[in-house]
Amino acid sequence: MFEIKSKKCLNPTVTMMDIYAPNVAKKAKPGQFIILRVDSTGERIPLTIAGRDIDDGTVKIIFQIAGRTTFSLNQLNEGDFISDFVGPLGNPTKLDGFKKVCIVGGGVGCAIALPVAQQLYKNGCEVHSIIGFRNKDLVILEDEFKSVSSKLTLMTDDGSAGRKGVVTQPLKEAIDQGESYDEVIAIGPLVMMKFVAATTKPYNIKTTVSMNPIMIDGTGMCGGCRLTVGGETKFACVDGPDFDGFEVDFDEAMKRGSMYKDFERHAYDEQCNLFKKEVK
């Protein structure tokens, strides 16, 4: 069992937790993820390692309440336990040898992008960050990005915080103004990553994306997380989750990602109803 050492709501739909898991904390690197089950009958879900503290033995996760399992996880509090917490899984993001990198984060993808930005900063790389959200109430981790970025651009769809518009606008402007990035790393919704790759491709700037297809075992056995990358089948859990953004078949990934929408909606409604009955 794994104890929840701290819990903080970052916005109405995103929560941060520190979980006591010293063996995972010891080995975790930016870009890797864990798979957890809230209880012994629960579904397995992958979440990125958003940080770690080796001395305290804790691993930080930041999750959006997206459906049944994340809803159940969010019902737990400091001092509660979750039954399984396996990791670190996946390959760490390659971060050595860069002089200037632009990080593009969208929504809860910013939680995945932050440890990458922090590690680049530690490595002495100049970090420019562009983070985007639907509106001001959903903005997370702005200060954390500020502390590791020499340039931070905050975008919202409705202009209620930062600049109005999508993340690809300031990215294109920066490139057109002569910023020479060794790499652009984009982490967020599939559609955002698709358009970041489309923005950087004409300039041939290496662009890495972090893919988050449905995962079951996380060890390359079930095939659930398969993607087409450069015309070949890849498994995000063992070959990724980072891939060359120019090579990923995003349209196929989006189609596969929405395959279980009706089932997921039903499971979420069931869980919410169960919770409402329990608190009555």
Ligand X SMILES: Cc1cc2nc3c(=O)[nH]c(=O)nc-3n(C[C@H](O)[C@H](O)[C@H](O)COP(=O)(O)OP(=O)(O)OC[C@H]3O[C@@H](n4cnc5c(N)ncnc54)[C@H](O)[C@@H]3O)c2cc1C
Give the nearer residue to ligand FES in terms of CB position, either 76 or 216: 216
Nearest alpha carbon to residue 245 among 199, 177, 180, 182: 199
Contacts of 172 (CB under 8 A, 6+ apart): 199
CB 227, min distance to ligand FES, A: 10
Q: Contact, 189 vs 234, CB < 8 A?
A: no
**What's the token pair of residue 183?**
């790499």
Choose the contact partner of 33 out of ligand X, ligand FES, none; CB within 5 to 8 A by kind: ligand X
Alpha carbon distance 205, 186 (integer Å): 12
Cis omega before residue 202 (within 30°)? no
Least distance CB 33 / ligand FES (angstroms): 11
Which of ligand FES, ligand X, none lies near 126, with the C-beta cut-off 5 to 8 A by kind?
none
Asked if residue 63 binds ligand X (CB under 6 A), the reply is yes
Residues that bind ligand FES (CB under 6 A): 215-218, 220-225, 235, 237
The entry of ligand FES, ligand X, none near residue 222 (CB within 5 to 8 angstroms by kind) is: ligand FES
Q: How far apart are CA 280 and CA 277, in angstroms?
A: 5
- Smallest separation (angstroms) from ligand FES to the CB of 184: 26
Min CB(226)–ligand FES separation in Å: 7
**CB closer to ligand X, 112 vs 175:** 112
Cβ closest to ligand FES, residue 67 vs residue 218: 218
- Among ligand FES, ligand X, none, residue 220 binds (CB under 5-8 Å by kind): ligand FES
The nearest distance, CB 126 to ligand X, in angstroms, is 25
CB of 20 to ligand FES, least distance (A): 25
Distance between CA atoms of residues 188 and 138, nearest Å:
14
Residue 221, binding choice from ligand X, ligand FES, none, Cβ under 5 to 8 Å by partner class: ligand FES
Rounded distance between C-alpha atoms, residue 115 and residue 145, angstroms: 10
Answer with the entry of ligand FES, ligand X, none that 98 interacts with (C-beta below 5 to 8 A by kind). none
Q: Mutual orientation of helices 168-176 and 190-200 as an angle, nearest 10°?
A: 10
Distance CA 181, CA 28 (A): 27
Closest separation in Å from C-beta 260 to ligand FES? 14
Among 17, 21, 28, 47, binds ligand X (CB under 6 A): 47
Query: What residues contact 268, with CB distance under 8 A and at least 6 apart?
Result: 67, 68, 71
Q: Which of 174, 215, 229, 253 contacts ligand X by CB under 6 A? A: 215
Comparing every residue's Cβ against ligand X, the nearest one is: 67
234 near ligand X (CB under 6 A) = no
Q: Which two tokens stand for residue 163?
A: 């600049």
Q: What's the number of CA atoms in the CB half-sphere (13 Å) around residue 186? A: 27
Which residues touch 253 (CB under 8 Å, ≥6 apart)?
190, 211, 213, 227
CA-wise closest residue to 90 among 68, 116, 64, 62 = 116
- In the chain, how long is the greatest CA-to-CA distance? 60
Q: What does the binding site for ligand X look like in residue numbers (CB under 6 A)?
A: 33, 43, 45-48, 62-64, 66-70, 108, 111-112, 212-215, 241, 257, 264, 268
